[in-house]
Structure 1
């Protein structure tokens, strides 16, 4: 199984008095996310499902990916909110679904959460060494059997500037 961890696009500043969960993408954030999505389509990517954080900016990012035809399936999961834990997501969301090894899932969320999840999948612990830029993506292949924690392989790490 391949996971594509995608950070939301550029969002409104926190200082504007808007609750964090209600912050929207800016005009620039939408435009850049659309360009990144278009490039991913040109590269031949297609996701079986896009799973998004329920926060507005992540949901808007996921909707752009859907609009660009990167998937026809969209779901929300509180596991992808900023305080979500990968162990809970694996146990409560992923394992019960029993997806095939050919499945490609896009997970749209936040930093440092997504980088932390990637590091736990790759090295079994958070090392604070990966950074995922807004509208950037990390691709991780999960092993066919056993726990993916510390046993997965990264095959993609792309800052958005290379996809614009």
Structure 2
């Protein structure tokens, strides 16, 4: 079994204020709150074998904060975590990783994709009901064998306000 943590990027600059939305960074407040959330996760004893992040600037900055806080020593980008990414591409990656690597994985990405992915993993269908707030987290236990789609269990749904100082 693998504990999967879906983490939405922190508060970022306003949509439409950057020529290339992919380059939109965390705001100062987003950086500060993401650092607070990461510190709280560390105090709670969380540790990730790997952090995978969307290649977009705001997600990458969030992942870098998680890594710098000591939640993982490894961080990599995965294109499937960009907006409108394909969960099947991630599942192909995951099946290879889970057979040889650790058992705790963090994915840093975007809404509505993270909420939709959580629903697919838990219920096997998108219901558009789970919302991951900025710097919020969903924890899901993935099965040891077989497809994780519709066969995973929710164990944690935390908005950032419960993790801030």
Give the TM-score normalised by the residue count of structure 1.
0.96
- Once the two structures are TM-superposed, the CA of residue 100 in structure 1 deviates from its matched residue by 5.9
How many equivalent pairs are there? 163
Hey, what's the Cα distance between the residues in 1 that align with 2:97 and 2:136?
A: 26
The answer to whether the aligner puts 1:137 opposite 2:131 as a matched pair is no
Q: State the match for 2:56 in structure 1.
A: 55
Unaligned runs of 5+ in 2: none
Hey, what's the Cα distance between the residues in 1 that align with 2:100 and 2:120?
A: 22
- Once the two structures are TM-superposed, the CA of residue 8 in structure 1 deviates from its matched residue by 0.1
Q: State the match for 1:41 in structure 2.
A: 42
CA RMSD for the aligned pairs? Answer: 1.2
- Once the two structures are TM-superposed, the CA of residue 98 in structure 1 deviates from its matched residue by 3.5
Unaligned runs of 5+ in 1: none
**Retained in 2: the 8 A contact 1:24–1:60?**
yes
Aligned 1:12-161 pairs, distance under 5 A: 12-91=13-92, 93-99=93-99, 103-161=103-161
Give the TM-score normalised by the residue count of structure 2.
0.95
What does the per-residue CA deviation read over 1:40-78, in whole Å, with 9 as the maximum and x for residues that have no partner?
Answer: 000000000000000000000000001100000000000
**Retained in 2: the 8 A contact 1:2–1:102?**
no
